[in-house]
Amino acid sequence: MNVLEAMAGQDREALEAMLADGVVFNSPATAYEGREQVADVLAIAGGVFRGLAASREPATIGPGETITLIEASVEGEPLNGFLLERTDEDGRIAELTILLRPLAPLQTAIRHIARGMAEGA
């Protein structure tokens, strides 16, 4: 299972297993730090994004770094962008960056994710 599959399945346990203790997630809205918080936001995001999947195979761009083109939709509006992953020496994800476009459905997704984070707190 990869991080996109774990997100799409809202599999928090699988996400936690993939993430390093001090993982940083650079989302389109803000940065999140730490395994628990990042697993929470990724699982919530997986429930917001419909059809979240890679649109191309991941490409290695450096030692321990991959980039994956991704696609999803929010409230029927398509999103596309990329997921950048950097792993640590143990193979766990140390840093993730997700950038998505276009802006309007991204803003809708951010509102839904923020609401989910607030309800989970």
20 HSE (CA, 13 A, CB side): 17
Measured between alpha carbons, how far is 28 from 41 in angstroms, rounded to an integer? 12
pTM of the prediction?
0.94
pLDDT of 121 over the 60 cut: no
**Domain with 106 in it:** 3-120
Q: What is the pLDDT of residue 72?
A: 98
Q: What is the pLDDT of residue 120?
A: 77
- Of 49, 39, 55, 69, give the one whose Cα is nearest residue 8: 49
Q: What is the CATH number of the domain that holds 114?
A: 3.10.450.50
Q: What is the mean pLDDT of residues 88-105?
A: 97
The number of distinct structural domains making up the chain is 1
pLDDT of 9 over the 70 cut: yes
pLDDT of 105 over the 80 cut: yes
Determine how many CB atoms are found less than 10 A away from the CB of residue 68: 20
Q: What is the pLDDT of residue 114?
A: 95
